[in-house]
Structure 1
Amino acid sequence: MIHELADIQIKPGVQAEFEAAIVHGVNTVIAQAKGFEGYEIRKGIESPDRYLLMIRWTTLEDHTVGFRQSEAFAQWRAIVGPYFAQPPVVQHFSTLNQG
């Protein structure tokens, strides 16, 4: 399993709208993608305009090729993109150890 971690900074004052949009976008677009295994969204405490979207994928290619190179990615960005203050920073992680 691969963990995609997207560090998202949104425009000030649009938290409620963004939170509704991100949940809607994941549940209706990303969740339909091959290899999608689940997600978590976390909101910054010290930085309330910062969010972490963590998505579990079966393989790296399920995200980087199957989803990112599909029409679904454009649909996803149309839902959440208008709220971004800057492009998200996205990286992928594997599990080293779990407690």
Structure 2
Amino acid sequence: MILEAMIHHVKRGMEIEYEEAFRKASLIISSMNGYISHDLQRCMEVEGKYLLLVKWDSLEDHTIGFRESPEYQEWKQLLHHFYDPFPTVEHFEKVNLS
């Protein structure tokens, strides 16, 4: 399992519209192969700042299966115009501490 993490900023005054669009986009991402779960958090200190966490079975499920799919084009159309600046997406794997 990998964790995709993205901190992003939504253009001022567009937060409500963004959250509504994200509800629609959630249906897209949750239908993809390898998808496990996702969570969107709104920052309490900085207006327009969000954290998106998505769990995938593998890195390729996100980078190839989702990003190279027709569904991703719909995702982009729904969400990408809200970002300023465009966010960086990072992937993490769990550290076994035992």
The TM-score with structure 1 as length reference comes to 0.91
Q: Structure 1 residue 97: deviation in Å?
A: 5.3
Paired AA for residue 14 in structure 1: M
Q: Distance in 1 between matches of 2:87 and 2:77?
A: 14
Query: After superposition, where does 1:16-31 map in structure 2 within 5 Å?
Result: 16-26=16-26, 28-31=27-30
How far apart are residue 69 of structure 1 and its match?
1.0
C-alpha distance in structure 2 between counterparts of 1:96 and 1:12, whole Å: 37
> What secondary structure sits across from 1:62 in the alignment?
helix
Following superposition, the deviation at residue 78 of structure 1 comes to 0.4
Runs of 4+ in 1 over 6 A off after TM superposition: none
Question: For residues 34-68 of structure 1, what are the alpha-carbon distances to aligned partners after superposition, in whole Å with 9 as ceiling and x for unaligned?
Answer: 00000111111111211111000000000001101
Structure 1 unmatched runs, 5+: none
2:41 partner amino acid: R
Percent identity, aligned pairs only?
A: 31
What is the CA–CA distance in structure 2 between the aligned matches of 1:52 and 1:30, rounded to whole Å? 16
Aligned residues: 97
Q: CA RMSD, aligned part only?
A: 1.3
The answer to whether residue 13 in structure 2 is matched with residue 13 in structure 1 is yes
SS at match of 1:79: helix
For structure 2, list consecutive stretches of 5 or more residues without a partner in the other structure: none
